[in-house]
Structures are given as structure tokens and as C-alpha cells.
């Protein structure tokens, strides 16, 4: 990542009037949050994440699935937003119209100062009833490893007494319609889309930069690795979000406050 490229990218950002920032697992991984496929450690090492993250798994063993998600939520609570999250919040605040769209299910964007990011894959902090979909309170903090070793019985819905489930999108489920519609609308009307720390492999989220490009927006990618979006992005900034994004904001407007 050369300084000249960052300066040029910063100029594009400073000139933009409507910006969408699309973030993926790489941003939170820099805060120590395990990615989905890396998350099975300790007591969970013998389990397959893709088998736990399904409606069928919750139906068959709700305490096992709820226990795993309680562990994941506890892990996120121990993490702190990094400089990349702060830079995303700075971009959102400083452009005339800024929208944050995330594939992450943590709350690190909110804690960094982003206002109501669009969660394409739901949130660990938005449980809901598995029967009537009524929102449920976030449970009190639990130990990193649930006390009985693996299983934690989920709470009951205050409205219908159904089992409360994690508020995330499982394999085989559609993305939340309102969130996806809002993300597509933002991408189709922005003049700059910045995609950060996402592989570009998970659809339909991976289609969002394409929506922006087809609508005439500039697409800027921040990622330490090559992705399928490389060929289509107008700007590729190679490096971790916590390093590249603050440099980008610095080039556009000045510094970013630290957590």
C-alpha cells in the first residue's frame, strides 16, 4: 500500500457525498473476535460450526446451540473496537450521507460510534423468539465457557413462551428482508462504496459492491488478501483495516480519535 495510492483514495473519499462502508469478518478479527470458522475452541473444539448454525440444530438440541452462542456473545463482550472500527465511524460521521453495512454479528461498530449499522446477518445482541419472532432481552453476561460445560437452556419468550433463539442468520435462512433492501438501496444510490475485510464470497452480501458499480459508484476495497472483487474494484488498498482505514481518513480529513 503506497502513500500515493492512499492520498489518491483519500481524495476520492473527501469528495464523496454519499458513502457506503461494507464490512466483513476481517475487521472484527483484528479485535480478536474469532471468525465463524475459527470460533470453535476450548470445550467447543469437537463441534462443527456449520452444523450448530442451523434451524435444525436448534430444534434438535436448543441448549447446545444456545450455549455456543452465549459463549460467542461473551467473547465479543471481551473485545474492543479497533482503529478500523473507529475509522468507519469517522467516515460515516464526516460524509454528508454515510451508511455502514456489516456482515458481522457483533456490536463493535456500535461501540465505536457508528449509528444504527445495517446488520445483514443479524446480531448476537438481538435475540428473538423462535416461534413468534418477538424481540427478547439480551441475557445477562455469562462466563466465557458456559457453566455446565456446553449446554445452556435458552430463555422463554415473554409473549408466547416459545424458546428464544439467537438473532443471527443461520445456514438455510434468508437474510433479513428489510436489512437487505436497505443495503441494496444505499449501494444503488451512493457515489463511493468501501468494502473492508470481506472475502467477497458470501452471497447475497457479495453482490452489494456489484450493485454500486452498476449504478456508477466508485468501488474501493480494503483487504490484506486478494479477493474476487479485485478485478472489479476501482481502488485496491492492500492491508489490514486497522492500519489502512485510519490512513485513509487521515488523507481525507485528518486524524481519528482512539478508543
User: Model confidence at 228, in pLDDT bands (50, 70, 90)?
Assistant: very high
Across-strand partners of 102? 23, 119
Instruction: Tell me the pLDDT tens digit for each residue of 1-31.
Output: 678 999 999 999 999 999 999 999 999 999 9
pLDDT at 43 over 90: no
Dihedral of the CA atoms 137, 141, 147, 153 (nearest 10)? Answer: 0
Instruction: Tell me the pLDDT tens digit for each residue of 176-200.
Output: 999 999 999 999 999 999 999 998 8
**1-31+81-121+174-259: which CATH architecture?**
3-Layer(aba) Sandwich (3.40)
pLDDT of residue 226: 93
* Residue in 109, 119, 121, 134 annotated catalytic: 121
Q: Is 225 annotated as a binding residue?
A: yes
109 is an active site residue: no
**34-78+124-168: which CATH architecture?**
2-Layer Sandwich (3.30)
Instruction: Tell me the pLDDT tens digit for each residue of 52-68.
Output: 899 999 999 999 999 98
Q: Which three cell numbers stand for residue 246?
A: 485510519
Q: Is 190 annotated as a binding residue?
A: no
- Other C-beta atoms within 10 Å of 116: how many? 11
Q: Is 132 annotated as a binding residue?
A: yes
User: Can you give the residue ranges of every domain in the chain?
Assistant: 1-31+81-121+174-259, 34-78+124-168
Q: Is 105 annotated as a binding residue?
A: yes
pLDDT at 160 over 50: yes
Compute the half-sphere exposure of residue 139: CA atoms within 13 Å on the CB side of its CA: 25
Amino acid at each position: 500500500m503506497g502513500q500515493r495510492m492512499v492520498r489518491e483514495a483519500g481524495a476520492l473519499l473527501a469528495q464523496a457525498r454519499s458513502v457506503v462502508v461494507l464490512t466483513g469478518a476481517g475487521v472484527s478479527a483484528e479485535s480478536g473476535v474469532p471468525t465463524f470458522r475459527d470460533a470453535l475452541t476450548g470445550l467447543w473444539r469437537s463441534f462443527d460450526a456449520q452444523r450448530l448454525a442451523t434451524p435444525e440444530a436448534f430444534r434438535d438440541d436448543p441448549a447446545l446451540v444456545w450455549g455456543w452462542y452465549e459463549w460467542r456473545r461473551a467473547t465479543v463482550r471481551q473485545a474492543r473496537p479497533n482503529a478500523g472500527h473507529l475509522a468507519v465511524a469517522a467516515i460515516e460521521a464526516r460524509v454528508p450521507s454515510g451508511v455502514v453495512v456489516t456482515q458481522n454479528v457483533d456490536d463493535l461498530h456500535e461501540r465505536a460510534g457508528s449509528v444504527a449499522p445495517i446488520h445483514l446477518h443479524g446480531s448476537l445482541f438481538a435475540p428473538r423468539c423462535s416461534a413468534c419472532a418477538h424481540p427478547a432481552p439480551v441475557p445477562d453476561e455469562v462466563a466465557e465457557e458456559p457453566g455446565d460445560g456446553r449446554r445452556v437452556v435458552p430463555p422463554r419468550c415473554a409473549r408466547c413462551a416459545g424458546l428464544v433463539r439467537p438473532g443471527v442468520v443461520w445456514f438455510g435462512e434468508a437474510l433479513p428482508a428489510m436489512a437487505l433492501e436497505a443495503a441494496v438501496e444505499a449501494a444503488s444510490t451512493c457515489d463511493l462504496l468501501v468494502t473492508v475485510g470481506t472475502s467477497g464470497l458470501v452471497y447475497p452480501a457479495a453482490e452489494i459492491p456489484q450493485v454500486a458499480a452498476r449504478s456508477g459508484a466508485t468501488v474501493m476495497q480494503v483487504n490484506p488478501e486478494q479477493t474476487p472483487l479485485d478485478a472489479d474494484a476501482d481502488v485496491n488498498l492492500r492491508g489490514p483495516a486497522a492500519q489502512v482505514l485510519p490512513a485513509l481518513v487521515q488523507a481525507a480529513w485528518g486524524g481519528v480519535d482512539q478508543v
